[in-house]
Amino acid sequence: MDFSLNDEQRMILDTVRQFVTRELMPLERKVVEAEIENRAFPDPETLRGLRSRAKDLGLWGLTEPKEYGGADLGSLTAALVTIETSRALVPFQYGGHVPNLLYSCTPAQRSRYLLPLLAEERRVAFAMSEPNIGTDAGAMQTTAVWSGTHWVINGQKTWISRGHKADFAIVLAVTDKALRARGGITAFLVDREMGFESRPLVMMAQSDMGDAQPAELNFKDTVVPAENVLGEVGNGLKAAMATIGHSRIQASARAIGAAQRLLEMAVEYAKVRISFGKPLADYQAIQWMLADSAVELRSALWLTLHAGWKVDQGLETRFEESMAKLTGAQTAWRVADRVLQIHGAMGYSKELPIERVMRQLRVYRIYEGADELQKINIAKGLINGSGSLTF
């Protein structure tokens, strides 16, 4: 078992570190000031500039195929890049990311949806969750009925990231009520002009949302042509679930990177904050919080990298992806809480980024599959044998 990075990975991470220290970390103070003034930062123009400079360094479309101009890093290297990038406490993600599901498009769909998305000329939202269903996606209520010449969609989606800004949405809808999750849910490419309305929703980490701010989408007799089915009729949910797992690895990586940076802040603070005549770092109660955080973060890191490695080997990864996402999300939240505790009132205030990052980290325990869903997947893996410990 060899845990060392290859030359290419080292080179990529050096580039990422340069970008993070030169471009992102100097903005951290501005993010704190914006938070105090109750406005979002980076603003769209700053974000565009950052993305474009990152693109010049090859940091764009991290996991997208080379033939589409992506970096095609693979899941493990992309996770390393994401961890390093998330250490900057600045809301930022590299450009050129496309929902994997879109690669199942037809040639005509490619030029209308996939290519403009990669060129950042259009924006997409992925619409699965609804007001009455979330985790239990197979029970969705939005329907698409074939009229003989086109599909007609009716229903409501909610919590849809970028839902208010998207030019089109990948919408999952029931096309066969008897089959549902077993071949009765289809994915559609729905342009805003085909007729859906959106309402932005205000979230806990609002200032971090940027363009990704979730929205409610309403479909009322929305007419969608036959050629806008994405993939096969009836295969939408299955295809979505097959691709969603990989993004869980990157979600875990984002949480781990930010929590690692918070831990480093706590170590520095503990060394200089004097209480009862000694630095906090001299007290065992504080040391244990630091030690627990380091061990838990390192465990989450290895689970995440291992899951990424398995994806890159083309192995079955549902079990590992769930373990990585669950541990990354829960650990980051616990670490943030301890870091805030070590900083006392300073941690609770907006003078430092801790409370903001903590609010941002909370979402990882809910989206991309909540903690409980990950545990359901893990338990299933144990029961059906796919999660057996083998070497």
Q: CA 365 to CA 329: how far, in whole Å? A: 5
Q: How many residues bind ligand FAD (CB under 6 A)?
A: 17
Please report how close the Cβ of residue 200 comes to ligand FAD at its closest, in angstroms: 12
Output the six-digit token pair for 370. 């909540």
| Of residues 265, 258, 292, 245, the one with CA closest to residue 362 | 258
Query: Can you spell out the DSSP letters for 67-83?
Result: GGT-----HHHHHHHHH
The correct pick among 24, 203, 253, 258 for binding ligand FAD (CB under 6 A) is: 203
Interface with ligand FAD, residue 181, by CB under 6 A: no
**Consecutive H or E run containing 229:** strand 229-230
Interface with ligand FAD, residue 363, by CB under 6 A: yes
The correct pick among 294, 367, 380, 386 for binding ligand FAD (CB under 6 A) is: 367
Interface with ligand FAD, residue 127, by CB under 6 A: yes
Q: Is 8 annotated in the active site?
A: no
The correct pick among 16, 373, 381, 387 for binding ligand FAD (CB under 6 A) is: 373
Output the six-digit token pair for 75. 């899941």
Binding letters toward ligand FAD, positions 141-180, x by CB under 6 A? ------------------xxx-------------------
Rg from Cα positions in the chain: 22
Please report how close the Cβ of residue 131 comes to ligand FAD at its closest, in angstroms: 8
The correct pick among 63, 82, 109, 129 for binding ligand FAD (CB under 6 A) is: 129
Geometric angle at alpha carbon 22, from 16 and 23, rounded to 5° = 85
CB atoms within 10 A of CB 273: 16
Contact, 91 vs 47, CB < 8 A? no
Interface with ligand FAD, residue 370, by CB under 6 A: yes
Type of residue numbered 121: E
Interface with ligand FAD, residue 240, by CB under 6 A: no
Catalytic member of 67, 120, 368, 372: 368
**Consecutive H or E run containing 329:** helix 318-348
Catalytic residues: 368
Q: Provide the binding-site residues for ligand FAD, judged by CB under 6 A.
A: 126-129, 134-135, 159-161, 203, 214, 363, 366-367, 370, 372-373
